[in-house]
């Protein structure tokens, strides 16, 4: 078959693969972006609940809207500013309540949907008010008279027909008191809506239908909020209010979905800018060396193919890919650029001898393959990880690098042969290789070897001694969100009474009834903690869905109150009120003890969708829901009791409580830290197993034992020196640093394999040519790596900064050590 | 003379002279009809406004009470004795906790101190000339103060105002509006009718 036909067939084959990958990804790629994704797989109930809380829990669905006046001029009458903010708040709430994307829109206003909410309204006398002990006290003649007198006072302001109807059924306003208690908002109100403590910012909070990690939907949700606020801002109704000339509406959005999107945007922006800058510098550098645009394009192919393959494989296996996997993975497979650089650099030098690109690839392929295998072994340490994020990263890196190597081996020779040869800047090549030869000679003397060996050993010892203090276990420390913003969100959550993400009690039992009863038994204990100011509040399913035992007790209490109806009628008559007007009230009390029990599994499933059923969904986990989460069969019900405003002393006090073993305290932050620490330990074992396997591979690749030092010392030494440098610069090591160290293993071996003078497959006659071309290709690779990762180290984002610095120092040390040890 | 709808700007013009008032005290008779009462209740008392933002409604007779709105606080004094200024019990309620109270304050602010922008916040307004001496201010609540979402059965307030020569001299020759009657209609079964007597006015 003519060579040209073979070449076109090869090109056609690879083009078809490229096209398939692009089509698949454009149709099916799903990107997620929650930090919990970087937590290990659930192993026990607490882990399971923690992940549930972080991914699906209510706390991850809240968005707080803060409305304020940004005018520099102080509005003469503060009340006008408050009135305008309240109006905006009400209008915004009204508009957002019509959107199906939000399951709750709360701003302090009473809602029609909350009045006589079925079926809970009928059960209002069976629920417990916080300050209520016995129903007999609530319905004593004295208490009733007091309540009706209060009603009379409030009737000084005229009742609307809605209020009139409502009062007929509930003159004691018990339902409104329950709503207030359930919302647990101690926040102050102005003009009917919530304001902050200084009465300067009006507040509104939204609960999204989508989970916090569904970033695509959350992006839409946030867009809806922005456009609705914009529409209101342009509304003439607001503008026409007298005295508003100095009013300029401003707003802040806060909450987990907002932060997740901000993180995504910050990561994308920084990656975009930094990568673009690094890419331009790299291309200028490579052009300066190779003097050919075509070569630059060819060099980019393996990288692009590696990224497409990595994305496709991960998406095929998991059904989605994490944003950090993409950002981090593409950075890691950036080393795939080394493969075409090696090929092209060697081809240039070989042209003088053979001018056959196929011959060149055959000569360098064993080295590329060895570098690839050892890198794969290195990344295998995370391939079997419990952290799904790292597992994805492992798959992405391994498949990407294999794809890049395959493309370099089987496609690039055809492409490069069509690119006219000898484009390199002869002067630069000579100057670079001469310099490297000089340094290689100087540094390969015994002196530098002894000094560097000593430095590595001392650093290693110091790191082992201080290993406990080296690590950063806090995932949130890696978040790109500014601490001030996080604090603002914390304050807002505290003010509005939204639970923080950190603490919850988990109650486990074999039935819904038992789990509710156990939760109810915790109420007095938790109320004591509130009184002692150890916590500021709590929420539990039993508040909205009391156990059947509790309901039955309340019904009995109602039945035992003698002459209840006649007492009510006496008070009504005494105060000159119309008995008939309160007939629905008397009827509802009389019927309360006849109501069928709420709180059965069936009634829970049959609840209509409203704010209480939504709340119950997030506070109760049925065995079926747990099966979906953990994929293990269980008969247990779980109740989650989120705690609010937890003080430092609470944990000590809680540990002294004599509670059932079925009640456990979940500290999400601590739990996550312990999981990360456990994982790190596990990853370390894998890391050392990986090192051992790499050494075995090197031995079986035919390298003599005296060459092993030249192959092993550069990457192990680079790891030790990189960690030491990072620690000296004040960085704590995270899992991201750990992954980058795996990259250093690959880079280090790659440099050593190419720089080692005495190689298994080469004869002595070619030794000078080998020396020069190897030094040349490695130095181009080193500069490329330093440019790419050096740029990332300028990022103020912890993750990108970690990757950048680690890879930069790692590559630099690996290269220096390679030069020192490459002449055994 | 046929009734005539006057331009909106006349409302502000009508009430603006009240902004110069330091204190005004108006005796009233009140008839309160409600679905919840056995029979209509009748009260008498005084409504007082003291510059800048104090409103006091004192009910005399057997159901002696005083409602005082100062700033953002409502103070209810039970068994109030106007002579001794003593009372049995006091309840303090933040005004902002209830839109109904804010709406009531806005009504008083508009009618007694001329703050029509406060009135505008809660009511749609129409001014009608009844005859040479009398005007009718018709207010329709913008929202149900109990549940703001509700748009039906809005509260209406009908205020009949008289310009009297007697009050003219108190304010640079400009007539002060003298409210004669006010009927607040909540639902079909909730109605309050006020008849106001001659006010006692102190001007700045």
Whether the Cβ atoms of residue A70 and residue A249 lie closer than 8 Å to each other: yes
Whether the Cβ atoms of residue A683 and residue A735 lie closer than 8 Å to each other: yes
CA-CA-CA-CA torsion sign (A726, A731, A733, A738) = negative
- Distance, CA of A490 to CA of A484 (rounded, Å): 10
Confidence class of residue A351 from pLDDT cuts 50, 70 and 90?
very low
- Distance, CA of B49 to CA of B53 (rounded, Å): 7
pLDDT at B163: 65
A190 contact residues in B (CB cutoff 8 A): 96
Confidence class of residue A425 from pLDDT cuts 50, 70 and 90?
low
How far B118 CA lies from chain A's nearest CA (Å)? 9
Contact A160 B184 (CB under 8 A): no
Quick: pLDDT tens for A320-344: 888 778 877 887 787 788 888 888 8
Confidence class of residue A186 from pLDDT cuts 50, 70 and 90?
low
- Distance, CA of A520 to CA of A621 (rounded, Å): 17
A198 burial via Cβ count (<10 Å: 0-12, 13-18, 19+): exposed
The residue assigned the tokens 């800048």 is: B52
Half-sphere exposure of A706 (CA within 13 A, CB side): 5
Half-sphere exposure of A80 (CA within 13 A, CB side): 19
- Distance, CA of A325 to CA of A332 (rounded, Å): 10
A91 contact residues in B (CB cutoff 8 A): none
The residue assigned the tokens 């801002």 is: A233
- Distance, CA of A340 to CA of A296 (rounded, Å): 10
Closest Cβ–Cβ partner in A158, A189, A581 for B192: A158
CA-to-CA dists, residue B137 to A74, A81, A538, B11, angstroms: 34, 27, 50, 8
- Distance, CA of A233 to CA of A249 (rounded, Å): 7
- The more confidently predicted of residues A546 and A674 is A546
Quick: pLDDT tens for A584-627: 999 998 888 888 888 677 778 888 877 888 788 878 888 877 66
The residue assigned the tokens 């008498």 is: B44
A573 contact residues in B (CB cutoff 8 A): 38
Q: Which two tokens stand for residue A78?
A: 């503060």
Q: Which two tokens stand for residue A165?
A: 């109807």
Half-sphere exposure of A544 (CA within 13 A, CB side): 28
Contact A156 B57 (CB under 8 A): yes
How far B142 CA lies from chain A's nearest CA (Å)? 12
B101 contact residues in A (CB cutoff 8 A): 157
Whether the Cβ atoms of residue A428 and residue A288 lie closer than 8 Å to each other: yes
Contact A162 B153 (CB under 8 A): yes
Q: Does A240 touch chain B (CB under 8 A)?
A: no
Closest Cβ–Cβ partner in A90, A190, A581 for B35: A581
Nearest CA in chain B to A97: B149
Helix or strand (DSSP H, E) at A166? helix A161-169
Contact A160 B35 (CB under 8 A): no
Q: Which two tokens stand for residue B195?
A: 């008849």
- Distance, CA of A31 to CA of A51 (rounded, Å): 18
Contact A167 B57 (CB under 8 A): no
Mutate which: A161, A165, A176, A240, vs B, most B CBs within 10 A: A161
**Beta-ladder partners of B48:** B25, B56
pLDDT of A771 > 80? The answer is no
End-to-end CA separation in angstroms for chain B: 36
- Distance, CA of B195 to CA of B44 (rounded, Å): 10
DSSP letter string, A238-255 = HHTSTT-TT--EEEEEES
Q: What is the phi-psi region of residue A645: left when phi exceeds 0, alpha when psi lies from -120 to 50, beta otherwise?
A: left
The residue assigned the tokens 């049925």 is: A622
- Distance, CA of A67 to CA of A64 (rounded, Å): 10
Quick: pLDDT tens for A626-651: 666 555 557 788 898 988 888 888 88
- The more confidently predicted of residues A445 and A476 is A445
- Indicate the average pLDDT of chain A: 81
- Distance, CA of A538 to CA of A531 (rounded, Å): 12
Cis bond before residue B140 (omega within 30° of 0): no
DSSP letter string, A102-161 = EEEEESS---GGGTT-TTGGGGGGGS--TT---HHHHTSHHHHHHHHHHHHHHTTSPPPH
Closest Cβ–Cβ partner in A115, A158, A576 for B147: A115
φ and ψ at residue B71, rounded to 5 degrees: 60, -115
pLDDT at A547: 92
What's the length of chain B? 204
How far B103 CA lies from chain A's nearest CA (Å)? 9
pTM as predicted: 0.70
pLDDT at B1: 62
**Beta-ladder partners of B24:** B49, B201
Strand A503-509 relative to strand B4-6, pairing: unpaired
B188 contact residues in A (CB cutoff 8 A): 161
- The more confidently predicted of residues B140 and A181 is B140
φ and ψ at residue B99, rounded to 5 degrees: -65, -30
- The more confidently predicted of residues A273 and A724 is A724
Mutate which: A93, A108, A157, vs B, most B CBs within 10 A: A157
- Distance, CA of A255 to CA of A57 (rounded, Å): 13
Mutate which: A160, A170, A173, A247, vs B, most B CBs within 10 A: A160
Mutate which: B9, B149, B152, B154, vs A, most A CBs within 10 A: B149
Tell me what percent of the residues of chain A surpass a pLDDT of 90.
Answer: 15
pLDDT of A465 > 90? The answer is no
Confidence class of residue A74 from pLDDT cuts 50, 70 and 90?
low
Cis bond before residue B52 (omega within 30° of 0): yes
Contact A153 B91 (CB under 8 A): yes
**Three-state secondary-structure class, residue A354:** coil
pLDDT at A159: 77
Whether the Cβ atoms of residue A581 and residue A168 lie closer than 8 Å to each other: yes
How far A619 CA lies from chain B's nearest CA (Å)? 28
**Three-state secondary-structure class, residue B9:** helix
- Distance, CA of B75 to CA of B77 (rounded, Å): 6
- Distance, CA of A306 to CA of A383 (rounded, Å): 17
pLDDT at A758: 44
Compute mean pLDDT per 10 residues along chain B, 204 residues long, and list them: 83 86 92 90 92 90 85 83 79 78 88 88 90 89 78 80 58 74 85 90 73
CB neighbour burial string for A575-611, b if at least 16 within 10 angstroms, e if fewer: bebbeebbeebbebbeebbeeebbbeeeebeebeebb
pLDDT at B195: 95
**Three-state secondary-structure class, residue A477:** helix
Half-sphere exposure of A25 (CA within 13 A, CB side): 18
Q: Which two tokens stand for residue A267?
A: 């990561």
**Three-state secondary-structure class, residue B34:** strand
pLDDT at A228: 92
Contact B67 A111 (CB under 8 A): no
How far B191 CA lies from chain A's nearest CA (Å)? 8
How far A503 CA lies from chain B's nearest CA (Å)? 31
Strands (E), B61-176: 65-70, 73-78, 89-94, 123-129, 134-141, 156-163
From B72, B158, B153, select the one nearest A189 (Cα to Cα): B72
CA-to-CA dists, residue B131 to A184, A366, A551, B4, B70, angstroms: 54, 109, 65, 9, 36
- Residues 554-583 in A contacting B (C-alpha not used; CB under 8 Å): 573, 576-578, 581-582
Confidence class of residue A276 from pLDDT cuts 50, 70 and 90?
confident
- Distance, CA of A401 to CA of A337 (rounded, Å): 10
DSSP B73: E
Q: Which of A252-261, A400-409, A538-547 has the weakest average pLDDT?
A: A252-261
From B186, B129, B191, B192, select the one nearest B160 (Cα to Cα): B129
How far B40 CA lies from chain A's nearest CA (Å)? 10
Nearest CA in chain A to B144: A160
Quick: pLDDT tens for A699-712: 887 777 777 888 88
């Amino acid at each position: 078959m003519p060579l040209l036909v073979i070449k076109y067939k090869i090109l056609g084959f690879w083009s078809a693969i490229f096209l398939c990958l692009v089509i698949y990804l454009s149709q099916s790629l799903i990107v997620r972006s929650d930090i919990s994704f970087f937590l290990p797989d659930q192993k026990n109930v607490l882990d399971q609940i923690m992940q549930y809380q972080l991914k699906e829990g209510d706390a991850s669905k809240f968005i707080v809207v803060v409305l304020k006046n940004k005018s520099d001029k102080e509005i003469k009458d503060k009340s006008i500013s408050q009135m305008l903010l309240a109006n905006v708040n009400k209008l915004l709430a009204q508009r957002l309540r019509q959107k199906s994307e939000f399951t709750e829109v709360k701003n302090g206003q009473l809602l029609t949907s909350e009045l006589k909410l079925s079926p809970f309204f009928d059960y209002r006398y069976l629920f417990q008010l916080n300050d209520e002990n016995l129903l007999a006290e609530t319905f004593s003649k004295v208490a009733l008279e007091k309540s009706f007198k209060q009603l009379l006072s409030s009737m000084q302001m005229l009742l609307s027909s809605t209020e009139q109807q409502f009062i007929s059924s509930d003159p004691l306003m018990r339902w409104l008191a329950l709503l207030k208690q359930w919302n647990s908002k101690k926040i102050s109100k102005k003009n009917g809506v919530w304001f902050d403590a200084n009465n300067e910012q009006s507040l509104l909070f939204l609960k999204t239908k989508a989970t916090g990690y569904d970033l695509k939907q959350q992006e839409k949700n946030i867009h809806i909020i922005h456009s609705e606020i914009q529409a209101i801002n342009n509304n003439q109704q607001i503008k026409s209010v007298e005295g508003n000339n100095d009013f300029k509406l401003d707003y802040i959005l806060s909450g987990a979905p907002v932060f997740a999107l901000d993180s995504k945007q910050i990561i994308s922006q920084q990656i975009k800018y930094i990568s673009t800058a690094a890419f331009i510098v790299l291309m200028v550098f490579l052009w300066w060396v190779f003097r050919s645009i075509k070569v630059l394009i060819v060099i980019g192919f393996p990288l692009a193919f590696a990224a497409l393959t990595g994305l496709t494989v991960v998406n095929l296996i998991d059904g989605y890919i994490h944003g950090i996997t993409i950002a981090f993975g593409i950075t890691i497979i950036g080393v795939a650029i080394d493969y075409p650089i090696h090929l092209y650099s060697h081809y240039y030098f070989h042209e003088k001898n053979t001018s056959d690109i196929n011959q060149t690839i055959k000569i360098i392929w064993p080295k590329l393959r060895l570098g690839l295998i050892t890198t794969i072994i290195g990344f295998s340490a995370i391939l079997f990880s419990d952290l799904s994020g790292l597992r994805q990263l492992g798959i992405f890196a391994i498949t990407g690098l294999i794809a890049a190597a395959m493309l370099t081996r089987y496609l690039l020779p055809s492409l490069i042969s069509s690119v006219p040869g000898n484009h390199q800047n002869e002067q630069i090549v000579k100057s670079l290789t001469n310099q490297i030869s000089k340094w290689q000679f100087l540094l390969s003397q015994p002196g530098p070897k002894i000094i560097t060996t000593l430095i590595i050993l001392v650093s290693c010892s110091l790191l082992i001694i201080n290993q406990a203090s080296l690590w950063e276990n806090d995932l949130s420390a890696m978040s790109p969100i500014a601490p001030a913003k996080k604090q603002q969100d914390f304050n807002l959550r505290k003010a509005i009474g939204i639970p923080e993400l950190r603490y919850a009690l988990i109650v486990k039992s074999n039935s819904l009834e038992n789990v509710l009863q156990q939760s109810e038994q915790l109420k007095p204990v938790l109320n004591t903690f509130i009184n002692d100011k150890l916590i500021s509040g709590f929420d539990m399913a039993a508040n909205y869905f009391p156990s059947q035992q509790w309901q039955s007790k309340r019904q009995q209490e109602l039945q035992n109150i003698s002459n209840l109806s006649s007492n009510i009628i006496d008070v009504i008559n005494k105060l000159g009120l119309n008995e008939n007007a309160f007939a629905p009230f008397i009827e509802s009390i009389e019927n309360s003890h006849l109501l069928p029990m709420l709180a059965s599994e069936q009634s829970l499933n049959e609840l209509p969708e409203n704010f209480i059923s939504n709340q119950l969904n997030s506070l109760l986990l049925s065995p079926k829901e747990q099966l979906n989460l953990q994929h293990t069969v269980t008969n247990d019900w779980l109740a989650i009791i989120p705690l609010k405003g937890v003080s430092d002393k609470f944990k000590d006090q809680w540990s002294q409580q004599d509670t059932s073993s079925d009640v456990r305290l979940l500290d999400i932050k601590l739990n996550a830290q312990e999981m990360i620490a456990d994982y790190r330990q596990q990853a370390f074992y894998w890391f050392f197993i990986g090192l051992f396997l790499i050494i075995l591979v090197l031995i079986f690749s035919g390298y003599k034992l005296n060459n092993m030092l030249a192959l092993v010392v550069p990457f192990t030494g680079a790891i030790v020196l990189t960690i030491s440098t990072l620690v000296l610069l004040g960085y704590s090591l995270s899992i991201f640093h750990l992954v980058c160290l795996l990259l250093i293993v690959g880079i280090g071996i790659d440099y050593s394999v190419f720089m080692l003078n005495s190689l298994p497959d080469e004869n002595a006659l070619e030794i000078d040519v080998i020396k020069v071309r190897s030094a040349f290709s490695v130095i181009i690779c080193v500069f490329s790596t330093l440019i790419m990762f050096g740029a990332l180290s300028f990022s103020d984002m912890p993750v990108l900064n970690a990757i950048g610095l680690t890879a930069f120092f790692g590559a630099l040390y690996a290269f220096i050590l390679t030069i020192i040890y490459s002449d055994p | 003379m046929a009734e005539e709808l006057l331009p909106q700007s006349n409302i502000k013009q009508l009430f603006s002279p009240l902004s110069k008032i330091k204190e005004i005290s108006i005796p009233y008779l009140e008839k309160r009809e409600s679905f919840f009462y056995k029979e209509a209740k009748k009260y008498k008392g005084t409504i007082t406004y003291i510059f800048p933002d104090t409103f006091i409604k004192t009910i005399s007779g057997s159901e002696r009470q005083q409602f005082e709105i100062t700033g953002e606080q409502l103070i209810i004094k039970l068994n109030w004795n106007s002579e001794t200024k003593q009372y049995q019990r006091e309840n303090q309620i933040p005004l902002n906790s209830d839109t109904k109270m804010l709406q009531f304050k806005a009504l008083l602010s508009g009618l007694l101190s001329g703050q029509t922008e406060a009135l505008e916040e809660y009511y749609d307004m129409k001014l009608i000339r009844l005859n040479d001496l009398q005007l009718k201010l018709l207010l329709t609540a913008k929202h149900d103060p109990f549940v703001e979402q509700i748009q039906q059965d809005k509260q209406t307030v009908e205020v009949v105002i008289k310009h009297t020569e007697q009050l003219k001299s108190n304010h640079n020759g400009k007539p002060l509006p003298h409210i004669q009657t006010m009927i607040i209609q909540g639902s079909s079964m909730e109605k309050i009718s006020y008849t106001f007597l001659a006010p006692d006015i102190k001007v700045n």
